[in-house]
Amino acid sequence: MFKIYSGCRNQTAMGQKHWYAVYTKPRWEKKVFALLSEKGFTTYCPLHKVRRRWSDRYKVIEESVFKSYVFVSITEEEIKKVRSVDGVVNFVYWNDRPAIIRNEEIGLIKRFLNEFDFIEASPVELRPEQRVKIMNGVLMDEEGVVVRSDRNKVEVVLYSLGFRLTAHLTGNEIRPVS
């Protein structure tokens, strides 16, 4: 298990696009994704397949990985336009400003979803512990901090969102960093 630190936010250049996390009404992630896309914004709503039971059958459906969150790539000038979209509650804030999500973190989420079938995302309380390096797989050579010593799970903490992605591993896939 490891954490990937997102780093501090720098002043943004005017007109430069950045990824932001938008907080939506409950269960509105796909609707907000569609509405933002219709308005021409570059959006990303990470989805994963979940098997749900109905009274008479099972069905595989796609659910949002991050409940009530959608990512949008915009300039600072477009923040007000996004905020006015139906279903958008607000942006996720860091230091009294909408939090910028690094491109690397969006890429990591995409790689993580492509690599693993069944994942979980859960809010996390952050606490520094032992640094580790991932030895193989899609996250090879990424460094992070151990959350627990269970070798059957890997956890990627995205600090700018305050979420942890969890996937099950096999074998000895992390090692301490000296």
13: in domain: no
Predicted confidence band of residue 4 (pLDDT cuts 50, 70, 90): very low
Tell me the DSSP string of 99-114: PEEPHHHHHHHHHHHH
Q: Which two tokens stand for residue 75?
A: 């300039």
7: in domain: no
CA distances from 30 to 45, 75, 124, 164 (A): 7, 22, 24, 21
Predicted confidence band of residue 49 (pLDDT cuts 50, 70, 90): confident
The pLDDT of residue 62: 86
Same structural domain for residues 79 and 120? no
Domain holding 149, by residue range, is 115-176
The pLDDT of residue 22: 95
pLDDT tens track for 113-131: 888 777 777 764 433 455 5
pLDDT tens track for 9-35: 444 456 899 999 999 999 999 999 999
Q: Nearest-5° angle of CA 67, CA 99, CA 71?
A: 45
Same structural domain for residues 80 and 145? no
pLDDT tens track for 61-78: 888 988 899 999 999 999
The pLDDT of residue 115: 84
Yes or no: say if 122 and 167 are a contact pair by the CB < 8 Å rule. no
CA distances from 100 to 38, 81, 126 (A): 22, 17, 19
Least confident of 8-17, 75-84, 169-178: 169-178
pLDDT tens track for 93-105: 877 789 899 898 8
Q: Nearest-5° angle of CA 168, CA 71, CA 1?
A: 25
51: in domain: yes
Strands 58-64 and 47-53: antiparallel
- Interval 73-89 mean pLDDT: 96
11: in domain: no
Q: Which two tokens stand for residue 56?
A: 């008479």
88: in domain: yes
Q: Which two tokens stand for residue 96?
A: 């009294």
The pLDDT of residue 50: 81
Yes or no: say if 176 and 130 are a contact pair by the CB < 8 Å rule. yes
Same structural domain for residues 100 and 123? no
Q: Which two tokens stand for residue 106?
A: 């969006």
Total structural domains within the chain: 2
When the pLDDT of each residue in the chain is averaged and rounded to a whole number, the result is 75
| Gap between the Cα atoms of 22 and 57, Å rounded | 34
Q: Which of 105, 127, 153 delimits the end of a domain?
A: 105
Yes or no: say if 126 and 38 are a contact pair by the CB < 8 Å rule. no
